[in-house]
């Protein structure tokens, strides 16, 4: 017999609390890692580089994996079933969340900002070739 149940289940709380941490890690990655894969100076000719494509592929893969891990308690409903499932998954999602959180909050943000500052400084202080200002038909 199929019984439709809805209400308060521990799995809902686990999913939504974990989702907050996932959102925080995503925000930190977008604000501190993503700029390293983009041109150092906006408008530069590096758009569509292979590094940016690799970043996008890795981000899509990580998002898919973490979403599947985070949604498991919501679908299972109980804490016991969640624990069993996460044990079989070797708690990979908790490492995907805890690792970056530890990195960013234990000094990684400052380190990445320093790298980005050096990239921007190098890109803006590079010697600029003078542009040839005459048009092809002006007789020069």
Catalytic residue ranges: 6
Show the tokens assigned to 59. Answer: 């981000």
Q: How many residues does the chain have?
A: 140
In angstroms, the CA 124 to CA 65 distance is: 38
Sign of the Cα torsion 95, 97, 102, 103 reads: positive
């Amino acid at each position: 017999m199929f019984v439709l149940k809805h209400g308060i289940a521990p799995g809902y709380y686990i999913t939504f609390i974990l989702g907050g941490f996932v959102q925080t890690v995503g925000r930190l990655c977008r604000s501190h890692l993503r700029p390293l894969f983009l041109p150092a100076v906006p408008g530069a000719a590096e758009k569509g580089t292979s590094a940016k494509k690799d970043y996008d592929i890795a981000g899509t893969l990580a998002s898919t994996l973490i979403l599947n891990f985070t949604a498991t308690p919501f679908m299972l409903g109980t804490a016991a079933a969640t624990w069993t499932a996460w044990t079989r998954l070797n708690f990979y999602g908790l490492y995907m969340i805890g690792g970056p959180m530890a990195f960013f909050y234990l000094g990684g943000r400052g380190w990445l900002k320093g790298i980005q500052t050096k990239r921007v400084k190098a890109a803006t202080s590079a010697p600029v070739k003078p542009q040839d200002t005459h048009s092809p038909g002006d007789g020069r």
